[in-house]
Chain A
Amino acid sequence: MATFVEQVREMGIKQAIVTKADDVVERLTAGMNINDVRAALRGDEPRRPNPRLRPHADGFWLHIRPSFYHTGVTNIYPTFRLGWLSTFMLVWETITGLILMVFYTPSPLSAYGNMWNILGNVPLGQLFRNMHRLGAEVMVLVVALHMLRTFVTGSYKKPRQFTWATGMLLLVFTIFLSFSGYLLPWDQLAYWALTVFISGGAAAPAPAFVNENIMLILQGGPALGADGLLRWYLLHVLLLPLLAGIFFFVHYYKVVLYGISLPPGREQVGEDTAKRVPKDERTYYIPDILTSELMWSALATLFLVAGALWLWDAPLETHADPVVTPLHVVAPWYLSWSQGWLKLADKTLVVGFIPLLLVAFIVMPYIEVGKSRRYADRRVGLTVAMLFIAAMLVSNWMGSPEFRVQSSPDREVSIQVLPEEGPGGIKGIPYEHLTPGTYSPGQVIDGNPFLTRGLELFQSAMYQQSCTLTGNPQWTACTVETLDNGTRRFSNFFTTDAMPDPVAHLEIVEVQPNLKELILHYEITNPDTGAVSKTEWTRPRHAFSNYEEECRFLNKSCATD
């Protein structure tokens, strides 16, 4: 071939540049020159031999993609684009995760501080954290839906059993990826969710020394600490993405090998025609599938960015504290079902059952060998699936915050109004507005809107946790229930364990310059025995603690607004 200089001499500078550009484009696309690309974008018929097949044969990026699909699988039904979306989410999480890694060190000394830096200091830091966390939750949802649709359309049947099995592994990796990222912010939510999860792993039906070592290996020590955080970080950023990546390619290789299964009604029972595509039923990857995938990428990006910007903020609690478990810790929503199961059965039974369920799912296509993929022929299978989904939804609901563990009603009020750690409620009132004195719930303080707002919060918390037997109009009416042992239990619309006719107040004391103590006093008289129980709850408030700002940062409801 002539050199560029020779071409310039031969055809002039303009024509030489055009020829060179054509050449470069053909090399980059592994086979399509400028005219071919433009023809593809215009939607013209390809020339013969078809240059649009060459990127699949000669190029790296498209060699794993089929050069054409059966037109029957290119509509929304039957795939709903869920497999593609799962892959998109994996890439999305990798990119946003890599960016977050730049500002993160896996050490208990710095991890939580890194979160605050990312949220408040790094340009677009909060957006990236929100996108990563939202993406993680969406990915779990998308992968689960992908599994559901594969089941419903019978696509797990011969010859795609192994594809289904690798898909099950990918579901497990997805959940573990999402959950392992949970610990990294090193906040209370993270710490206790992981502690419960690891203790669950150590409740396996195995000899005691095995369980002890499972616990030690997962925690990196007798309790979660620096070593544990490092281990979960490495799992999250290295081992799990690697496994997910490898098995993604195993999975996708099988998808390409067998083709995407047609809608069940489109082929004869027992036939698999996905790989025998008539000429007039072909939709070529270039340009139709490629441009459609670009559109879906744009839509998914739009949804995730908009969600992370305007609709949802990733939660962050106070710094992890290994000696205090906060009230109302719950599992992430995609593991709520296990929380529900723990209420029904012994932990060893639950922990032993989950891997059995997983194995059952993996081997299911090899046991359920009915030939027909049509819905009408699979009534039993589809019914079992729907019952399973219903059971999972009920389990999820049982594990939801609706059924969270209640403490005593006075403790519930205290936690809401004056949290044990971090900002919230009355703690958010600016220091100078905490005038020493004794106040009752709902009291209006002239010229002090902050304290008035705080006492309003106190009042509404009390309202939910108390009930009236004597007609005190401040509280809700009591429901009285006599237990088996003859004692009476008082409840109201909000709670099963309410304080009957409580007397409560807030005391603010200046204990030394720049330090006040906030004390909640409760006095509850048992109407049956006449016994009076007095409890109190004290939290300090220092003039320099920056609760006003923390309230905004951690999205807490504070008496500042």
Chain B
Amino acid sequence: MASQTATAESGAGASGGVSRREFLYYIWGASIALVSLQGAGLLVWFLIPRFREGEFGGTFTVAAGDVPDINTPPVNYAEGRFWLVNLDSTQPNELMYQAPDEPNPIQGIAAIYKVCTHLGCIYSWTPTNSRFECPCHGSKYRLDGRRVESPAPRTLDRFFVQAIADDETTVLAEASLTDNFFQPLQLPSGTAFIRVDTGNRKQGPSQPLLCDFQGNCP
């Protein structure tokens, strides 16, 4: 009776305080909204694919004799999705050289992820131009994976590599991390195998374009 009078006094009842029934409806509505939100979150979680870490690769072992010569075209490991390169910027040629902003020589081997850092295409080695070229949007990379021309946002990703002795177990040396990126590995004497761990990939840094130094950016 009292509440009826109150509603009548305040006209439409909008400002007449929240009744117990109205309040419970709001609580009910809020819980439905919350459950829907949780459902949406669960749906996203459900949609994330399940796969073994490093499924496309695991580790790959390459005989030291199969490593390319210094500053020669890379060797393709399609099943592991990497290129194996052998670098030495102190013996510069068309393929590999030291840019003005690179204070230290770049020496050793690296396993470079075959996917372009721009939009996921598979770039390939173009022998005539002595560099990696991506067919999709035209990114170009030097032998070590550093960008020559954009639109790629950064240097090509690299995998973790180890130098293994001929007992196939002893690790003689392994790629070191600088700024969370694998540096080329100089093979110690006695290296018989290279082990590439395609489950351990580090994103390349965003270095300036090499074509800026050469003055031939398109």
Contacts and interface: CB of A to CB of B under 8 A. Distances in A.
A409 interface: yes
B134 interface: yes
B119 A347 contact: yes
Interface string B93-130: 00000000000000000000010001111111011110
Given A195-B119, A485-B216, A342 B48 contact: no
Interface stretch (A71-79, A326-334, A508-516): A326-334
Given A329-B121, A485-B214, A535-B127, A342 B56 contact: no
Contact of B135 (A203, A220, A325): A325
B136 A405 contact: yes
A407 interface: yes
B128 A533 contact: yes
Contact of B126 (A219, A220, A347, A407): A407
Interface in A471-515: 483-485, 487
Interface residues of B, number: 32
B56 to A, nearest CB: 6
A196 B119 contact: yes
A397 to B, nearest CB: 16
Given A346-B153, A484-B215, A196 B138 contact: no
B81 interface: yes
Interface string A161-199: 000000000000000000000000000000010011011
A411 interface: yes
Interface stretch (A104-112, A221-229, A363-371): A221-229
B55 interface: yes
A456 interface: no
Given A323-B114, A343-B151, A196 B136 contact: yes
A435 interface: no
A342 B215 contact: no
B78 interface: yes
Interface in A287-338: 322-329
A212 to B, nearest CB: 10
A347 B81 contact: no
Contacts of A326: 135
Interface string B142-159: 000000000101000000
A200 interface: yes
Interface string B15-50: 000000000000000000000000000001001110
A contact residues, range: 35 or more
Contacts of B81: 323
A200 to B, nearest CB: 6
A325 B134 contact: yes
B133 interface: yes
A407 B125 CA distance: 10
Contacts of B118: 199, 347
Nearest to B152: A347
Contact of A347 (B124, B127, B129, B151): B151
Contacts of B48: 213, 216-217
Contacts of A192: 121, 136
B31 to A, nearest CB: 26
Interface string A339-360: 1001100111000000000000
A222 B157 CA distance: 15
Nearest to B47: A217
A195 B136 CA distance: 10
Contacts of A483: 215-216
A200 B116 CA distance: 12
A408 interface: yes
Nearest to B203: A208
Contact of A227 (B49, B114, B134, B216): B49
Nearest to A322: B122
Contacts of A535: 127-128
A548 interface: no
B56 A325 contact: no
A198 B118 CA distance: 12
A97 B214 CA distance: 53
A323 B114 CA distance: 9
Contacts of B120: 195-196, 198-199
A410 interface: yes
Q: Which of B122, B126, B153 has the most CB of A within 10 A?
A: B122
By Cβ-Cβ distance, the 3 closest A-B pairs, closest first, are A199-B120, A484-B215, A408-B128
26 contacts: A195-B119, A195-B121, A200-B119, A213-B44, A216-B48, A222-B55, A223-B56, A324-B124, A325-B136, A326-B135, A328-B135, A329-B121, A329-B135, A342-B119, A342-B137, A343-B137, A346-B153, A347-B118, A347-B153, A348-B153, A406-B138, A408-B127, A408-B128, A409-B128, A535-B127, A535-B128
Given A323-B122, A524-B128, 5 more contacts: A199-B118, A221-B51, A325-B123, A411-B128, A484-B215
